[in-house]
Amino acid sequence: MLSKIRDTPHEVPNYAVGKNELAMPAKKTKLKIKNLNILLGISGGIAAYKAIDLASKLTAAGAGVKTVMTENACRFVGPKSFEAVTGSAVFTSLWSKSEEHRIKHVSLVGWADIVVLAPATANIIGKIANGICDDLLSAIFCVCWQKPILLAPAMNGNMWHNPVVQRNLKTLKEMGFNSIGPTKGRLADGTIAEGRMSEPEDILEAIKKIASKTKGRKK
């Protein structure tokens, strides 16, 4: 059952919860993602380590996976880890090698059937909601807004409940973005709060649900 927007005198309204919020925890389904192209974005949060497992699960399910990482994401996990589990190159910069002639962010979006951002930090959510394109990942999300998109937010509990963050998420929801989480649990700062990224298996099930509704799904 989908969560409702919270709006009480003692609680910050959670504008991110709405019709595009995928229920959690996700139950395993028989839906398939084989032969789908998944563009996986990784932003700079400690939850980036979970994205390696997600990339592995997507690949094992038969999806093609290409990974895009921000500079800060590379400080938490190495691109080689994603290359190892997906068998594909990892993209980290807008600046292509001299022998590459395609516009990278445009060609990656054209290749993708579904775009996933896990973890989605407050920073990248703010960039996307306000049209800021100062690196490869944010430029991709400026281009891909008409694609099926799934966000998996992860951040400090106070950041998650910040009205500005919630307003940015509301903007993306109104554009048709899907989201899953975050959940309540132990965060990097040692607190128990809402802000923990959903588990890879739950994100995988959410992707399957989106894939089942994708008209351009490959067979």
pLDDT per position as a tens digit, 30-74: 678 999 999 999 999 999 999 999 999 999 999 999 999 999 999
CA diameter of the chain: 58
Banded pLDDT at 188 (limits 50, 70, 90): confident
pLDDT of residue 102: 56
b/e string for 115-152 if b means 16 or more Cβ within 10 A?
bbbbbbbbbbbbbbbeeebebbbbbbbebbeebbbbbb
Q: What is the pLDDT of residues 126-164, one digit of tens each?
A: 999 999 999 999 999 999 999 999 999 999 999 999 999
What does each C-alpha distance from 174 to 5, 179, 194, 207 come to in angstroms? Answer: 14, 12, 22, 19
Give SS3 for 141: helix
pLDDT of residue 7: 32
Residues 6+ away with beta carbon under 8 Å from 29: 205, 208, 209
* Amino acid making up residue 124: I
**64-69/192-196 β-pairing:** unpaired
Q: Which of 27, 55, 60 is nearest to 41 (CA)?
A: 55
Average pLDDT for residues 191-203, to the nearest whole number? 95
How far apart CA 106 and CA 207 sit, in angstroms, is 22
Half-sphere exposure of 96 (CA within 13 A, CB side): 11
Does domain 37-212 sit in CATH 3.40.50.1950? yes
Banded pLDDT at 218 (limits 50, 70, 90): very low
For the chain, domain boundaries: 37-212
Q: Is 78 exposed, middle or buried (0-12, 13-18, 19+ CB in 10 A)?
A: middle
What does each C-alpha distance from 141 to 88, 97, 129, 155 come to in angstroms? Answer: 20, 22, 9, 19
Give SS3 for 193: strand
Both tokens assigned to 205: 């099930």
Q: Is the pTM of this model over 0.85?
A: no
* Amino acid making up residue 148: P
b/e string for 6-34 if b means 16 or more Cβ within 10 A?
eeeeeeeebbbbbebbbebebeeeeeebe
